[in-house]
Amino acid sequence: MNEALLHTIWKYKLLGQTQFKGSKGEVIEIISIGEHNQDSGPDFFNSKIKINDIILAGNVEIHIKTSDWLKHNHQQDKAYDNLVLHVVYEHDKELPQNEKFNVSVLELKNYIKSSLMEQYNQLQLSKQTIPCGKSISTVPDINWKTWLDRLAVSRIEQKTEYIEHLFEYCKNNHEDALYLLLCRNFGFKINNEAFELLAKTLSYSTLKKYADNSIKIEALLFGVAGLLDELFEDKYPKQLQNEFEFLKHKHQLVPIKKELWKFSKTRPVNFPTIRTAQLAGLLNKQQSLYHLIEQKPDLKSLQSFFNVEPNLYWNTHYKFDVESEESSKKIGETAFQNIVINTIVPYLFFMSKHNTNTDFVEYALDLLSQLPAEVNTKTKEFTKLGVETENALESQAQIYLLDNLCSKKACLHCNVAEFLLKSSSK
């Protein structure tokens, strides 16, 4: 037994009744469980309890044993003076404090059903990646979908924490902050840090000076990335070198180390050279991504914005001076979806927070619901259990669920476990 489980039992009324006998034989009726307090102080505020014929309003404290009150030194804390009920799993000691303030003690040991404990133990002892395993299929669809909606929002809000850092770095400039986030996510995990460093070294304001001049933008990006620091044979990289030599001195730019870029253990389409070429095509536009999403365009318009053609040189290359079989190097469908999920949607949430415009949140969630569900090692864990994932909103929720609850056995914070425990307590 642990206090977290007792909190859950109390919070979700899993005892199957509202009337009980106190430690001194008094009749205790739970009218309202109160508000769960996640901070210091009593566990539940503003509860309403009927003791015999008297209705009391105040706080409820929950412990495994009554004597835990003394272990936690609550007797020295005036925050616990306004107590109307002391709920314990086992009443092992009479307390002067309870006697002084006439606080009833409710022992739960004989009220908690064995079936509930069996269900809880199954979850905690489970060796599956998702502790509730196949039981998840017993959860009604409406409960599951509602829970996923909440988790998806939590997942996105989690991502906005890093945006706060970027926004502060950019001195509260939205356009610059989104540029940094976009560049970072063009690293597609393996080169995130290098791309962010590139963006911080090469400001968006510098790039904007050369909008519609593709060669200069390519020269700036590849040059500051340190990827032009070689002797080349092909005409194209030589042209970029010449352009960058002039621009480097003009803007006093210092390239980052080319060794930061990772080519190994990644598919050629994810090579930093290809992603940099695609980024150059995207930044070679008069309209910024920030001003575009401010207008809340539909998904098709967003995709059109990202439908850029890198320099034709890259159709036959993945690296400078290394010719390859011809193929288009446009931003692919999967890459576009990744950018929407990890860049656009979180930034819309961030904009909503700073502009107090909830329309951006609704728009962001609508974009996610239009994208197909992601398929990765985490979402596959749910697929194995027969869970159907309809869109990216649901797959993002599943990733959050797995990372923050399932992997930590934090079942008592999950609505699935809540449903299963409620079912077992009937």
What is the model's pLDDT at position 265? Answer: 85
CA separation for the pair 11, 21 (Å, rounded): 19
Q: CB-based contacts of 63: which residues, under 8 Å, 6+ apart?
A: 3, 6, 69, 72, 86, 87, 88, 89
Q: How confident is the model at residue 235 (pLDDT cuts 50, 70, 90)?
A: very high
What is the model's pLDDT at position 76? Answer: 87
Pairing of strands 317-319, 104-107: unpaired
Question: Whole-prediction pTM value?
Answer: 0.89
Interval 165-187: pLDDT, tens = 999 999 999 999 999 999 999 99
Query: How many helices (H) and strands (E) would you count in the chain?
Result: 19, 9
Cα–Cα nearest to 269, from 190, 183, 198: 190
Interval 250-294: pLDDT, tens = 999 999 999 999 999 889 999 999 999 999 999 998 889 999 999
Q: How confident is the model at residue 202 (pLDDT cuts 50, 70, 90)?
A: very high
Q: How confident is the model at residue 347 (pLDDT cuts 50, 70, 90)?
A: very high
Interval 209-234: pLDDT, tens = 998 899 999 999 999 999 999 999 99
What is the model's pLDDT at position 100? Answer: 84
Angle at 246 between CA 245 and CA 250, to 5 degrees: 120
pLDDT of 357 above 80: no
Mean predicted confidence (pLDDT) in 14-43: 94
Q: One-letter amino acid identity for 317?
A: H
Burial of 339 (0-12, 13-18, 19+ CB in 10 A): buried
What is the model's pLDDT at position 79? Answer: 87
Burial of 317 (0-12, 13-18, 19+ CB in 10 A): buried
Mean predicted confidence (pLDDT) in 353-375: 93
- Do residues 143 and 417 touch, judged by C-beta distance below 8 A? no
Bigger pLDDT: 355 vs 409: 409
CA separation for the pair 288, 67 (Å, rounded): 63
Q: Which two tokens stand for residue 270?
A: 């994810």
Interval 282-335: pLDDT, tens = 999 888 999 999 999 999 999 999 999 999 999 999 999 999 999 999 999 999
Sign of CA dihedral 407, 413, 419, 422: positive
Mean predicted confidence (pLDDT) in 118-122: 94
Mean pLDDT of all residues in the chain?
95
Q: How confident is the model at residue 116 (pLDDT cuts 50, 70, 90)?
A: very high
Residues belonging to the chain:
426
Q: One-letter amino acid identity for 212?
A: D
What is the model's pLDDT at position 367? Answer: 98
Return contacts of 116-125, CB within 8 angstroms, 24+ apart: 116/9, 116/14, 116/421, 116/424, 116/425, 118/424, 119/420, 119/421, 119/423, 119/424, 120/5, 120/411, 120/421, 123/409, 123/411, 123/417, 123/420, 124/409, 124/411
